[in-house]
């Protein structure tokens, strides 16, 4: 949130490069664009994990409503 488009693209590229080098990358966000690119998504509701799995296996929009 708050990043302009070039900043957002640069951040995504940095995350991708770290992942490609074997790093585990953890991002806490409400931005679905980041979550959709992930290998794994954990969704929390009031401190409880309500989803743990691949982003393509659930409706991400439903998780944040």
In the DSSP assignment, the letter for residue 55 is: G
Tell me the longest C-alpha to C-alpha distance in the chain.
34
For the chain, counts of helices (H) and of strands (E): 3, 2
pTM for the predicted model, two decimal places: 0.72
pLDDT-based confidence at residue 42 (cuts at 50, 70, 90): very high
pLDDT at residue number 37: 85
pLDDT at residue number 30: 82
Q: Which residues lie closer than 8 Å to 19 by C-beta, 6 or more apart?
A: 25
pLDDT at residue number 1: 63
How many other CB atoms are found less than 10 A from the CB of residue 8?
15
Per-residue pLDDT tens digits for 8-19: 889 889 999 999
pLDDT at residue number 24: 92
Distance separating alpha carbons of residues 31 and 23, to the nearest angstrom: 21
Of all residues in the chain, what percent carry a pLDDT higher than 70? 98
């Amino acid at each position: 949130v708050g990043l302009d488009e070039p900043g957002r693209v640069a951040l995504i590229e940095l995350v991708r490069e770290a992942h490609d080098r074997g790093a585990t990358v953890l991002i806490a966000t409400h931005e679905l664009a980041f979550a959709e690119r992930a290998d794994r998504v954990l969704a929390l509701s009031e401190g409880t994990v309500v989803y743990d799995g691949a982003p393509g296996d659930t409706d991400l929009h439903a998780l944040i409503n």
